[in-house]
Structure formats: C-alpha cells, structure tokens
Structure 1
C-alpha cells in the first residue's frame, strides 16, 4: 500500500504532461505549407469551424473543396473579425500558402471580408 501513495505527489505533474503532449500533437507546424507559393483567390464560405487552436473554413476553389486554416479565434476577434463576420455563403478574398503535399489545404495569412483586410499572422 505504501508503494501506491509514494507516487501520488507526482500524479498532477504526470497528468499535466500528458495534457500538454496531446495538445502539442493536435497542433501542426507551419513547415508543411509552401511560403514560396502565395495563393490569392475569392471564394464563398461553405463551412466555418470557429474554435481553437485555429478556426477553419471550407471553400470551393477550382473544382476542389479547400480547408482554410485561419488564426486563433481570440486573435481574429482582437483584429476586428468576430465570429459572425465569417458566415456561410459570404464571399471573401483569401491570401495564403498551400500545403507542400498538394492536398487542398491553405494556411491563410490574411482575409478580406466586406472590404476589410484582416492580417491573421
């Protein structure tokens, strides 16, 4: 019984490290995007996922459904882009970098919504 209690003080640290490790695995690095190939296009929002670590949008461009990785929601709100500004069906201009592997995903650097440019990075 003494052996079990000996590890109890380390339990909170162990749980915290597991929590942070899972968050780190869920977040991807920006190295998978090609910063040498800037894409700029207008697209209508088909879907919006407002959440962290990054909000995401789905748009149709050149016959493909693209996932657009946006900024953290707190940053977008602080820069004047509240959740309601990204409504399904709204057209916006997206400037960003495509994934290096050719999949239809874009890391957005900025968006232009209703004539307002919002820097995301």
Structure 2
C-alpha cells in the first residue's frame, strides 16, 4: 500500500509542479526596490490562489512625475506607502509583457475591485525578483485602476 502511494504521488509531480512554481510568496521578491509598471491588460486570470494580469508595457516606460505625491490608501499592513511610491523606478529589463500577481479574490472583493479584463489600462507599484532575474513577474503592492488606488497586501482599513 505504501509503495502504491509513492508511485501515485510521483506520477502526479509533473502535473502539480507548474502550479507550485507559479505561486510565489513575498519572500521571493526584492522588497528593497519597488518597480512601476503600466500598460494594457492582454490576459486576465481572475481566480485563486491570486488573480493575475498579463500586461503589455510600452517601450521607454517612465515613472510618472506625480507618482511620489499620490496618496496611497490606508492599510493595516505595515507598509510605508509614500516611501514606496517615492522610491519606485521603471524596470531595467526590456520585457514587453509582465505578469502581475494580485491578491486573493477575497481581498480584491474587500477592496471592491471589479474584475479587470483584457483591454483595460492599469498601472502598479510592486516588486520583482532580486536583480530582476527570472520571469518578468511583479508582486503588486499598489494597483492603480479606474482612477483609484488599492493596497493589495492587506484588506482596506
């Protein structure tokens, strides 16, 4: 019986591994260097463990001059919002498409964020992997959509 369980578990690894790899915890991201991204949504996945958007970023992306003066929402998480916005920079890498990891659906619902669909223009401040290595993935701290800003690490205050 034990041997059969091991064989079944081993057979399932090729199927389960991509899903485990696709989900990143906060510790995988360089939280000392916030990035700014903006673009048009080309794909959206509105499901758990967290929603994801793939955006097309324009070449020559620049951080908006007013980003540091934007008012982040109050949050219960210990995040220095003004500090992050002031420190945000454009990525060094030239990828045209980035995957944005948002929050779990329950948190997006608490913020009353309507499902974001392909064609929408959004911007975000968040974190990617140290030294921008690996996939072009951003873990979103602040999402700017429909003229509003949302703090995704925690529920609304």
Structure 1 length-normalised TM = 0.72
Taking only aligned residues, the RMSD between alpha carbons, in angstroms, comes to 1.9
- Please, which of 118, 129, 135 is the counterpart of residue 99 of structure 1? 129
Equivalent in the alignment of 2:55: 59
Question: Aligned partners of 1:103 and 1:69: how far apart in 2?
Answer: 12
Structure 1 residues not aligned, in runs of 5+: 5-21
Residue 109 of structure 2: SS of its match in structure 1? helix
Structure 2 residues not aligned, in runs of 5+: 2-15, 60-94
| Segments of 4+ moved more than 4 angstroms | none
1:89 and 2:119 matched: yes
Residue 111 of structure 1: SS of its match in structure 2? strand
Query: How many correspondences in the alignment?
Result: 97
- Asked which structure has the greater RCO (Cα within 8 Å, sep 6+), the reply is 2
Equivalent in the alignment of 2:142: 110
- Please, which of 35, 38, 44 is the counterpart of residue 40 of structure 2? 44
- Please, which of 89, 95, 100 is the counterpart of residue 68 of structure 1? 100
Structure 2 length-normalised TM = 0.56
Deviation at 1:102, TM superposition (A): 4.0
Question: Aligned partners of 1:104 and 1:30: how far apart in 2?
Answer: 15
